[in-house]
């Protein structure tokens, strides 16, 4: 029995006796109620046995909540493996894996689903890649191929993934396709339904609501549907006879679970593919350093087009300062937010009858303000938060700037650095950008997607300016051949200047995602990236070389000792609690004198409280620290085990302070 108690020192199974009247209903996988530590708690029955290793009297199972076996042995094993990898608790993982029960849905008569033979796979799309056809053959043959697919610019990626699912189904096996968000789910579901029929695929997302999500999840659990498209929670869906596990854009932060133990979809699917003997496909326009590790260790094979095909399909990419001629024609190009070459590309695309995409890394109107004299960031006098101009005040010349943390208006700003009272825009957001472009291109429709505005799924294939924040770029209507005439990637300095380990990788991923929607250079497609041409990240975009950038990124991280070249844990909490965890792992405490091989401690450093970012530390109990622990990759399991044991000791003695432990965190700033 696994009880739903998320305490590390109770992270194990417990034996209970099953009363005679529950004997038939108490089968492995059902939800139960049991008495635990003097109170009634939920749990899952994992296994029935005639004997027990427990010495003493066993408690009785109080109730079988439902006769529906919702937890399969495969998912239970996966949950245990995920908890072990992330120094977490299995009960926390099962909360992510098994949706909440909906009694009325369980009692419904399952609807009949039409069975349709999968349509024959058109191999032309995959055969644009030298190893693409072989990958489809492996799926159709039921073999566990592992691949990292670099999608070409303008690729109909949803159609390619649907074709991979059909090839998997032709071998009698099931397929699970995980994408970042609801828009991607809708696009991929439509592509799968076109080949498998509406009843041959199901979409699982949090937006469905509890009843409908549970209804669809049960259909999968009961074997009525064999192809699933979903967001990160679908990674644990109980599909039998798994043939394919695929994740699109594995570097997207939507794939990282914000709840403990903070698993990443890519890692969950790698574990699942290994455990269940399924094929794995990591796909995207960009390539993460984690995917590069799989390629370099030969666990996965790259599926990428040759350079001639890439050059034929990509738009022309221009960076700032790449030629002396460009700087002679526009001497202010390096300082301008929208340089002359960007205006030229936009005008040419609009004249050709195509829309223009403008990617802005910030949302809002004027997200941040700065002192007009010394350029120091404008700060709130009450909480030291950044000042900004809200969109509601955009139309009023006398609108007051307000703090973006505490919300207080600032009627009399005075710079704490130089004393000036004048303000300027520090970073211009999507709203202000749309307004400025509307003035620069009178008569042209300007649309905004994301950044507080509605996220558009599609835009018409006629002249317009589409201002979007990263991840909110709409698709141009019209299918194959349709696309943006140009893409302007603004504020490259702002994206690359963020203090984050993954800043180069994340910036390039966002640029590739936007540029992939532009028509090829042979059709006049242009991309202008407003960043210095000499930067390696910019050069990777100009050459359209995601693999080369991932290789260099991994080498740099190996040199400085950061994930994924090593395994790393971030321990955050009150200073005494962080020190206690670190001492236990390092073997300097009284717990375990044998630390994980090669473990190193970085820090601790003081960090902002999670509830009030950037606020000053008042009482001592508001001070929080973060320490980083790293080990060689081969010692990753030992580090996770040591962290789990250290947390178990604290919860066993009911330590009051909360400590957050994250393995291989996505963000280290």
pLDDT bracket for residue 166 (50, 70, 90) = very high
* 297 and 172, same domain (yes or no): yes
* 458 and 525, same domain (yes or no): yes
pLDDT at 321: 64
Spell out the alpha helix ranges (H) of 277-306.
289-296
Mean pLDDT (the chain) is: 89
In tens, the pLDDT along 609-636 reads 654 444 444 444 578 899 999 999 999 9
pLDDT at 338: 80
Contact of 357 with 488, CB cutoff 8 Å: yes
pLDDT at 329: 57
Residue 143 is part of a domain; what is its CATH number? 3.40.50.300
Q: Is residue 550 part of a domain?
A: no
* Residue 325, Ramachandran bin (φ over 0: left; ψ between -120 and 50: alpha; else beta): alpha
In tens, the pLDDT along 246-302 reads 999 999 999 999 999 999 999 999 999 999 999 999 999 999 999 999 999 999 999
Give the other-Cβ count within 10 Å of 192's Cβ.
28
Strand residue runs (E) in 200-285: 202-204, 227-230, 242-248, 279-284
Q: Is residue 561 part of a domain?
A: no
* 31 and 15, same domain (yes or no): yes
Task: Record the tokens describing residue 358, joined without a space.
Answer: 């403008």
What 3-state class would DSSP assign to 544?
A: coil
Q: Is residue 612 part of a domain?
A: yes
* 357 and 474, same domain (yes or no): yes
Residue 4 is part of a domain; what is its CATH number? 3.40.1440.60
Task: Record the tokens describing residue 33, joined without a space.
Answer: 């109620």
pLDDT at 394: 45
In tens, the pLDDT along 530-577 reads 988 889 999 999 999 999 999 999 999 999 899 999 999 999 999 999
* 296 and 323, same domain (yes or no): no
Q: Kindly give, in sequence order, each residue whose CB lies less than 8 Å from that of residue 117, ignoring residues fewer than 6 positions away.
A: none
* 255 and 321, same domain (yes or no): no
- Separation CA 73–CA 81 (nearest Å): 12
pTM of the model: 0.87
Q: Is residue 370 part of a domain?
A: no
Contact of 148 with 273, CB cutoff 8 Å: no
Residue 497 has pLDDT above 60, yes or no: yes
Say which DSSP state 474 is in. P
What 3-state class would DSSP assign to 538?
A: helix
pLDDT at 361: 84
In tens, the pLDDT along 196-223 reads 999 999 999 988 889 999 999 999 999 9
pLDDT bracket for residue 130 (50, 70, 90) = very high
Residue 625 is part of a domain; what is its CATH number? 3.30.70
Compare 651 and 591 and report the one with higher pLDDT: 651
Number of separate domains in the chain: 4
34-43, 231-240, 367-376, 515-524: segment of lowest average pLDDT:
367-376
pLDDT at 363: 55
Contact of 434 with 445, CB cutoff 8 Å: no
HSE of 139, CA atoms in CB hemisphere, 13 A: 32
Task: Record the tokens describing residue 343, joined without a space.
Answer: 């205006």
* 456 and 521, same domain (yes or no): yes
* 519 and 623, same domain (yes or no): no
Q: Is residue 95 part of a domain?
A: no
Per-residue DSSP letters for 352-409?
TT--EEEE-SS-SSB-EEEETTT-PBPB-TTT-PBEEB-GGGTT-TTPPPEETTT--B
Most confident of 351-360, 470-479, 493-502: 351-360
Nearest to 173 by CA among 111, 231, 218, 228: 228
* 523 and 575, same domain (yes or no): no
Residue 43 has pLDDT above 60, yes or no: yes
Residue 463 is part of a domain; what is its CATH number? 3.40.50
- Separation CA 205–CA 193 (nearest Å): 17
Strand residue runs (E) in 193-315: 202-204, 227-230, 242-248, 279-284, 301-303
Give the other-Cβ count within 10 Å of 266's Cβ.
21
Domain boundary among 528, 543, 558: 543
Contact of 642 with 595, CB cutoff 8 Å: yes
* 2 and 47, same domain (yes or no): yes
pLDDT bracket for residue 326 (50, 70, 90) = low
Residue 593 has pLDDT above 90, yes or no: no
Compare 399 and 310 and report the one with higher pLDDT: 310
pLDDT at 258: 94
pLDDT at 610: 58
Give the Å distances, CA to CA, from 38 to 34, 35, 189, 581. Answer: 10, 6, 47, 29
- Separation CA 467–CA 487 (nearest Å): 10
Looking at residues 326-348, what average pLDDT do you find? 70
pLDDT bracket for residue 188 (50, 70, 90) = very high
Q: Is residue 424 part of a domain?
A: no
Range of the domain at 323: 315-364+429-543
Looking at residues 41-59, what average pLDDT do you find? 91
pLDDT at 615: 44
* 598 and 641, same domain (yes or no): yes
- Separation CA 104–CA 211 (nearest Å): 8
- Separation CA 335–CA 298 (nearest Å): 44
- Separation CA 468–CA 460 (nearest Å): 15
Domain boundary among 23, 38, 69: 69
Residue where the block lists tokens 């693409």: 132
What 3-state class would DSSP assign to 220?
A: helix
151-155, 582-586, 609-613: segment of lowest average pLDDT:
609-613
pLDDT at 438: 82
Contact of 265 with 133, CB cutoff 8 Å: no
Give the other-Cβ count within 10 Å of 584's Cβ.
22
pLDDT at 583: 94
7-16, 110-119, 280-289, 503-512: segment of lowest average pLDDT:
110-119
pLDDT > 90 in the chain, percent = 70
| The total number of residues written for the chain in this structure | 669
Domain boundary among 50, 69, 88: 69
- Separation CA 148–CA 281 (nearest Å): 6
pLDDT at 33: 97
564 preceded by cis ω (within 30°)?
yes
Compare 13 and 478 and report the one with higher pLDDT: 13
* 186 and 61, same domain (yes or no): no
pLDDT at 400: 83
């Amino acid at each position: 029995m696994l009880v739903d108690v998320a305490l590390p020192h109770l992270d194990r199974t417990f034996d209970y006796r099953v009363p005679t009247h529950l004997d038939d209903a108490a089968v492995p996988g059902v939800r139960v109620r049991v008495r635990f530590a003097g109170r009634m708690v939920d749990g899952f029955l994992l296994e029935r046995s005639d004997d027990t290793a427990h010495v003493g009297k066993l408690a009785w199972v109080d109730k079988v909540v439902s006769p529906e076996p919702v937890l399969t042995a495969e998912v239970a094993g996966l949950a245990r493996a995920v908890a072990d990898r992330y120094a977490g608790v299995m009960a926390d993982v099962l909360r992510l894996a098994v949706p909440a029960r909906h009694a009325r849905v369980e009692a419904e008569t399952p609807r009949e689903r039409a069975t349709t033979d999968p349509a024959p796979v058109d191999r032309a799309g995959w055969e644009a890649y030298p190893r693409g056809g072989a990958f489809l053959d492996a799926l159709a043959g039921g073999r566990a191929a592992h691949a990292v697919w670099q999608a070409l610019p303008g690729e109909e990626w949803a159609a390619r993934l649907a074709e991979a699912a059909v090839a998997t189904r032709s071998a009698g096996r099931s397929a699970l396709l995980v994408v970042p968000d609801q828009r991607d789910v809708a696009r991929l579901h439509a592509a799968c339904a076109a080949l498998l029929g509406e009843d041959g695929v199901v979409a699982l997302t949090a937006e469905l609501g509890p009843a409908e999500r549970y209804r669809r999840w049960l259909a999968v659990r009961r074997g009525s549907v064999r192809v699933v498209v979903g967001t990160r929670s679908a990674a644990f869906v109980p599909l039998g006879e798994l043939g394919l596990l695929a994740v699109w854009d594995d570097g997207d932060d939507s794939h990282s679970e914000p709840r403990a133990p903070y698993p990443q979809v890519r890692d969950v699917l790698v574990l699942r593919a290994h455990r269940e003997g399924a094929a794995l496909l990591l796909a995207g326009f960009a390539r993460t350093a984690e995917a590069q590790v799989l390629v370099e260790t030969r666990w996965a094979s790259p599926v990428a087009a040759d350079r001639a095909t890439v050059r034929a399909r990509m738009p022309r990419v221009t960076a700032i300062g790449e030629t002396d001629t460009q700087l002679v024609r526009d001497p202010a190009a390096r300082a301008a937010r929208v340089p002359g070459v960007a205006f030229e590309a936009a005008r040419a695309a609009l004249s050709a009858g195509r829309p223009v995409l403008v990617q802005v890394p910030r949302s809002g109107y004027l997200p941040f303000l700065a002192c007009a004299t010394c350029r120091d960031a404008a700060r709130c006098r009450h909480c030291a938060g950044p000042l900004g101009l809200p969109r509601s005040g955009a139309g009023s010349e006398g609108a007051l700037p307000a703090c973006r943390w505490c919300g207080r208006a600032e009627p009399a700003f005075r710079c704490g650095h130089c004393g000036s009272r004048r303000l300027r825009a520090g970073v211009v957001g999507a709203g202000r950008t749309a307004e400025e472009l509307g003035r620069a291109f009178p008569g042209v429709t300007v649309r905004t997607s994301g950044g507080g505005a509605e996220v558009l799924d599609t835009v018409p294939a006629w002249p317009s300016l589409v201002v979007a924040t990263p991840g909110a770029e709409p698709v141009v209507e019209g299918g194959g051949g349709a696309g943006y005439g140009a893409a302007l990637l603004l504020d490259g300095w702002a994206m690359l200047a963020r203090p984050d380990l993954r800043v180069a990788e994340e910036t390039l991923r966002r640029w590739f995602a936007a540029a992939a929607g532009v028509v090829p250079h042979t059709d006049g497609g242009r991309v202008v990236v407003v960043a210095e041409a000499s930067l390696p990240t910019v050069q990777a975009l100009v050459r359209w070389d995601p693999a080369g950038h991932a290789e260099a990124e991994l080498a740099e991280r190996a040199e400085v000792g950061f994930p994924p070249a090593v395994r790393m844990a971030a321990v955050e909490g009150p200073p005494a609690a962080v020190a206690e965890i670190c001492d236990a792992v390092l073997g300097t405490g009284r717990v375990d004198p044998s630390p994980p091989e090669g473990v190193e401690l970085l820090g601790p450093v003081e960090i902002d409280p999670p509830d009030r970012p950037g606020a000053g530390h008042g009482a001592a109990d508001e001070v929080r620290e973060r320490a980083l622990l790293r080990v060689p990759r081969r010692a990753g399991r030992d580090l996770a085990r040591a962290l789990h044991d250290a947390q178990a000791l604290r919860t066993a003695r009911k330590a009051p302070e909360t400590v957050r432990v994250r393995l291989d965190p996505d963000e280290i700033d």
